[in-house]
Amino acid sequence: MKRAPVVVGRTRVRRSVRATLARQTLRERMVLALLLIDRMRPVEVATTLRMSVRQVERIRAFALARLARTATANAARSSAPLRRAA
């Protein structure tokens, strides 16, 4: 049985990460965007979004853990050989 190219696995992971991000709240996506894309410090994000630094850190930890679970689950699935339809 042939293994699927690595590109297929990456595509699956990208799709599931997108889907996971889409299920997150706007607030969670904003925190991640400001921290990871705009490279703001948690105190700056807290000020910008009018929340406590503790809330920013909690949201970041929760959102990244959810993404990590998704990526881990998909990595396990993509490393398994794909079945062909009979």
The per-residue pLDDT for range 38-80, each reduced to its tens digit, is 999 999 999 999 999 999 999 999 999 998 888 777 767 766 5
Distances in whole angstroms, Cα of residue 69 to Cα of each of 14, 22, 28, 53: 13, 15, 16, 24
Contacts of 49 (CB under 8 A, 6+ apart): 27, 30, 31, 34, 56
Residue-level pLDDT at 3 = 58
Tally of structural domains, the chain? 1
Segments forming the whole domain that contains residue 22 = 6-78
CATH at 11: 1.10.10.10
- Assess if residue 11 is contained within a domain: yes
Residue-level pLDDT at 36 = 95
